[in-house]
Structure 1
């Protein structure tokens, strides 16, 4: 302070405690920094854009990472650059929805700028900052989550399927036993009935020659003789068909590891299978060939079970032929130092990719109900898997089918 002559006579000071204000300002700066870091480095891509022009006011780095653009590219390209990653129908629906409520879609397919396919969660809402309305747009990459969910669903479906197969195995085992017993009586009795009829037919022929026409069961004798033979043959054939189905069911239900670790010759299994099926081979084709490589090292396995696989595959190949001029060939070879291959190739009608995908499913068949149970390939696949091998098929409509077995050498 100064007196009337202008001399300094004192000093007046005012002190104010601004500690709380300083603390508040520091806290605000820290909060803003945390918000900025969360905005910039969070898992969601975020953009603020002008409602009318689509000009991007701000875009975080995550949005660029998700869509494959730099922040500069996003700001230059505007909202239309982002919308260009989505289907037109979806983009066209956004304005109408935003007039009433927020737009949200939790599973939207899109593509990154490099062509990578993504699944994202898309949310858009109108926000007011200051006095200006902006579109707030956020994206979250859901690709990995969706993939894991799908994998979990597939795993669960496989577990359910395995439980069903286990229960089905026990069921069909019991059914096969119950069906097999009475069917054995039918097979035995039909053979005996055929022998009885053959003896009786000679007696009836003599009686017919001596006494003339007579009837049995309402039919004149010459006709009833032919009909009786057909009936007996039908009973025998039906019982044999039941036996084949029951055997398939028993193989399906059987859970054993019998003799799959004995050294065996794959060519021996092929020759035994073709010997068993010689009548079928002659019935279906005049062009059957074997191309078996000599001196293939022995592999660990069951001759019986691999013979069963080859029989199943060869029967399928033969039954796929449209006429006898089409061929079937079985070849064996050493693939490499660790494995051998068996290929059964036919010139049948071939299969579509949809049919190929279902081949190894139990009870799936392309044959008529009277010609197959749909268990042959499922059983074959199980046997080859038990031998640490693989069974795959190559086919296309009109180009035939190749069944390719690959088995390892050495111990199982």
Structure 2
């Protein structure tokens, strides 16, 4: 064979070699996709991924991964465990993909990421009363708990913030450690932190700053596994386009928005049809207008009576339910009210011996905490528990009184100050969620009046809840005041809010049955109508004064009880 022939063969092999290598790589990559894909994740990172009560993988990431496997026709095996171990398993090839990981430039040097399927915010948590933190640089010199191998662990090390890092396996461990009184702060993902704080009932910790900028969160694989990553990226895209990803997201991470009929378009069509009918039937409409108004008014009255009957039936059921619940709650409350004073006396008897031991032998531990700290806190803890138990008893009694069906007549003596205080206790949670500025001023030596305490309590609750709903931010306030006007012998309740106010044309209709400005939020327009009816039955008046955008003043007046004034 000539040298020219040998040369030609050499160059032919050289040109085909990349194609052969590429073909073998593609074949190997395809074989990898045909096998069971091992998907890893954190075993305690709710609501994104966690092991549920049945010992099974669960959460937003897990449900999304299973949906991707379904639409892409791939087999998966989900393995949730310690996050730092999972990162090492990915590096060692013991898992193929992590189903939820925050993207960073450092991580992108060794890993490839899919388009994000969520955005993660980070928050600094502290015990209540701690100063607020506006930037991570403020953590310098502080003892900060972070998840080992988590994005904030990586970030704090890279930025050299100067914090003393305490590494834990999970967000739950970080929050429990912080709540137990150890270390200064915990730096965890915002949503898992709030979720775990609620689930674990860690009421003494709270975020102490705004969440930090959102970080992209998606699937990750080792560099060179683009074909594998493409399967998950394509699956996410399909689920997003079909709306299934949004449904999974809303299920775990936000309220599900219900789609309804296009009422606006339907209303426009109906309006056009009505206009045509009005032109044709104008004369008939004029002739029937008065009759129609009477029919509508009677229909509304009948519907109102029906709603009141339904409400009465509900109140009867509520009374039965509250009576049973009150019994169950009062039993353990009674034990606490009986035993806590005894425990307080026991502690007082032991104080001298504990102090002698402290002076003789130095500090020692009680319940895992130093005696030098606990000796001042134990009495306060016992007092707080006793006060809390008494508050539980008062709330249960208030609920039982509210649910109890009072007599049909209005001949009981009503103390307005007492009714207002009870109503405030019952809606205390709504008040605290709505405003940071709630004021109450009670008139001294307020006369009583004749009426039904449960019905007056219902009116006060309706008015306070309405005031809370009118507030547009927690900075806006509510002021509740009771007064006695001797000149007219009137007992008054005034509720003022700094809310959105009421448009002038709506004020005269507030007491109309079924009139409401909150139809889209589920309002029925019966609350103020029923309240007005109750006040009328008591011989009182209910007046609204409002300036749109500025707030509302509600003035409730009752005639004073003559018999009470003469005593």
TM > 0.5 fold call:
no
User: What TM-score, normalized by structure 2, do the two folds share?
Assistant: 0.33
Kindly name which structure, 1 or 2, has the bigger radius of gyration based on alpha carbons.
Answer: 1
